[in-house]
């Protein structure tokens, strides 16, 4: 290691389940090496010691859902060198973005007896709608090896080597026979961003889109296939796109298209 002072790492949380930041603690074989390479300066889930910013690297988990959080992310951006969003909430609004398609007041009264105690925005939005994001790591949850790759690349001043092809390609690499072709199981693999290693098909299950749409996803072609050959109904098609990445471009548009027709 160089003799330069270690870069300071901060981990921030917004609306989320904590799973993506837990991925860092789940790096059981690498955690102590990471702690040697960076100064874990602000990571409340793991430590009560806080070193003041600015921080060379900020990992941001969760989506923006409250007026206070919309202000907080601005402050974090100012204190951060590299800002990396981790996971579907921070990158696409998360499962809680399902509220974006409904009236928030209805949601509030279903869950809370006293909606007046609750401060919330009517939409759950990704971090990039609020501040400039240097890198987005996808997944619900992220793949911890991809997180280590981003940290490693940053420390060595190179671009992270994160695959941008579809889950389909990962199945081919893994040698998993295509579930749609061989078993007629609907699968979002052709339009979903790689990163999980094509887990679901290897377990006999169609991809359900945890990593969100890949760039240039041909969702209309997949929807046609789902409906024409696999017998997927329109409401089920809408539900398939409206999951953890419901508010991400291609999935959002495709669901809206079929919802209006329904």
Partner 1 sequence: MMDKKSERRTIKVNYMARVEGEGGLDIKIDDNRVSDVKLHIFEPPRFYEAFLRGRRFGEAPDITARICGICPVAYQMSSSHAMEDALGVKVGGPLRELRRLVYCGEWIESHTLHVYMLHAPDFLGYPDAIALAKDHPEVVKKALELKKIGNQIVTVLGGREIHPINLKVGGFYRAPTKKDLRELAENLKRALDIARETVHFTSGLPFPDFDQDYEYVALRHPDEYPFCEGRLVSNKGLDIDISQFSDFIEEHHVEHSTSLHARMKGRGDYHVGPLARYNLNFDRLSPESQALANEVGLGPVCLNPFKSIIVRAVEIFWAVEEALRIIENYEEPDQSCIEMTAAAGTGHGCSEAPRGILYHRYKIDDEGLIRDAVIVPPTSQNQGMIESDLRKFVQQYIDLPNDELQLKCEQAVRNYDPCISCSCHFLRLRIDRDGVQYDSRPEGST
- Please report, as ranges, the residues that interact with partner 1 according to CB under 8 A: 12-23, 25-26, 28-29, 31-32, 35, 40, 43-50, 53, 65-66, 69, 72, 75-76, 79, 94-96, 98-99, 102, 106-108, 110-114, 117-118, 120, 124, 140-141, 196, 199-200, 202-205, 208, 210, 236, 239, 243-244
Measured from the CB atom, is 198 or 222 closer to partner 1? Answer: 198
In the complex, the smallest distance separating the C-beta of residue 196 from partner 1, rounded to whole angstroms, is 7
Report d(CA 95, CA 20) in Å as an integer: 14
- Phi first, then psi: give them for residue 198, nearest 5 degrees: 55, 55
Measured from the CB atom, is 107 or 218 closer to partner 1? Answer: 107
In the complex, the smallest distance separating the C-beta of residue 77 from partner 1, rounded to whole angstroms, is 10
Report d(CA 60, CA 45) in Å as an integer: 13
Measured from the CB atom, is 120 or 214 closer to partner 1? Answer: 120
Measured from the CB atom, is 78 or 221 closer to partner 1? Answer: 78
Measured from the CB atom, is 72 or 165 closer to partner 1? Answer: 72
Listed residue (89, 124, 119, 116) closest to 12, CA to CA: 89
Measured from the CB atom, is 66 or 218 closer to partner 1? Answer: 66
Q: Is the dihedral of CA 66, 107, 45, 26 positive or negative?
A: negative
Measured from the CB atom, is 148 or 199 closer to partner 1? Answer: 199
In the complex, the smallest distance separating the C-beta of residue 29 from partner 1, rounded to whole angstroms, is 7
In the complex, the smallest distance separating the C-beta of residue 257 from partner 1, rounded to whole angstroms, is 19
- Contact (Cβ atoms closer than 8 angstroms) between residue 80 and residue 53: yes
Listed residue (218, 225, 226, 167) closest to 192, CA to CA: 167
Q: Is 232 exposed, middle or buried (0-12, 13-18, 19+ CB in 10 A)?
A: middle
In the complex, the smallest distance separating the C-beta of residue 158 from partner 1, rounded to whole angstroms, is 26
Q: Following DSSP, what letter does each residue of 229-250 receive, concatenated?
A: TT---HHHHHHHHSSTTTTSHH
Q: Angle at the Cα of 124 (from 118 to 127), degrees rounded to 5?
A: 120
In the complex, the smallest distance separating the C-beta of residue 156 from partner 1, rounded to whole angstroms, is 22
Report d(CA 234, CA 240) in Å as an integer: 10
């Amino acid at each position: 290691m160089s003799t330069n002072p270690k870069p300071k790492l901060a981990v921030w949380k917004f609306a989320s389940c904590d799973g993506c930041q837990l991925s860092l603690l789940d790096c059981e074989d690498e955690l102590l090496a990471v702690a040697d390479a960076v100064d874990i300066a602000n990571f409340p889930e793991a430590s009560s010691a806080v070193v003041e910013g600015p921080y060379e690297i900020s990992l941001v988990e969760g989506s923006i859902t409250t007026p206070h959080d919309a202000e907080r992310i601005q402050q974090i951006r100012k204190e951060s060198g590299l800002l990396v969003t981790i996971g579907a909430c921070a990158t696409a609004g998360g499962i809680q973005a399902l509220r974006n398609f409904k009236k928030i007041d209805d949601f509030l009264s279903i869950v809370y007896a006293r909606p007046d105690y609750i401060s919330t925005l009517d939409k759950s939005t990704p971090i990039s709608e609020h501040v400039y994001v240097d890198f987005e790591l996808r997944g619900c949850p992220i793949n911890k090896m991809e997180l280590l790759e981003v940290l490693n690349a940053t420390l060595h001043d190179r671009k992270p080597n994160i695959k941008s092809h579809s889950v389909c390609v990962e199945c081919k690499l893994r040698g998993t026979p295509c579930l749609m072709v061989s078993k007629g199981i609907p699968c979002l693999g052709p339009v979903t961003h790689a990163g999980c290693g094509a887990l679901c098909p290897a377990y006999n299950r169609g991809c359900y889109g945890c990593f969100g749409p890949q760039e240039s996803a041909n969702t209309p072609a997949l929807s046609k296939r789902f409906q024409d050959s696999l017998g997927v109904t329109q409401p089920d098609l809408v539900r398939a796109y409206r999951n953890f990445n419901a508010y991400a471009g291609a999935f959002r548009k495709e669901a809206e298209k079929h919802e209006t027709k329904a």
